[in-house]
Amino acid sequence: MVIPDVIDLRRLRLRRPKASDAEALFECSSDLEVARFMDWSVSTSIAQVIARLKERESRWTSGEEFYWVITLPNEDRAIGAIACRVEGHSADFGFFVNRRYWRNGYATEASKAVVDLLRGFPTVSRLWATCDVQNVASARVLEKVGLSREGTLPRSIVRPNLSSEARDAFVYSWVR
């Protein structure tokens, strides 16, 4: 399984992050509207983002997780990120986009690229993602990229920017 460092798309480029992306990623991950439905707490410092980037690099090297920043090719500035994990026959993914770039189809375009990449691996027979039941925008992205809603996972994921209690999540999948 070969995971590319860069994926060039019609309007976007997905690439491995660099230390210089920390400021742009902090802008996204410190925005409570962007982080509201995430399973990680809103970022409180650039140093925190830098530490996460180092952790992501380590996970890429070990094959545990693959993480790309989403950029506009003519700017090469991170406007979001997308990541995936492959474990045996199953793969999952997640994404976020800076609020200034919402409603442009960027989350869909980036997600479709990752979904297509993962579908291309013959060992991956199940591809899945979750989203909070109130996250209508992300649910729509998952449907647009060809995943089907399997059901609801009751009280399954803590969304720390909303509550310390576990919340219901939709699970979407594609199965070979």
So what's the pLDDT on residue 73?
85
So what's the pLDDT on residue 97?
98
So what's the pLDDT on residue 18?
95
So what's the pLDDT on residue 140?
98
Write out the chain's pLDDT in tens, 176 residues: 789 999 999 999 999 999 999 999 999 999 999 999 999 999 999 999 999 999 999 999 999 999 999 999 889 999 999 999 999 999 999 999 999 999 999 999 999 999 999 999 999 999 999 999 999 999 999 999 999 999 999 999 999 999 999 999 999 999 99
> Domains, the chain, ranges and CATH?
6-124 (3.40.630.30)
So what's the pLDDT on residue 148?
98
* Tokens, residue 49: 């983002």
So what's the pLDDT on residue 1?
74
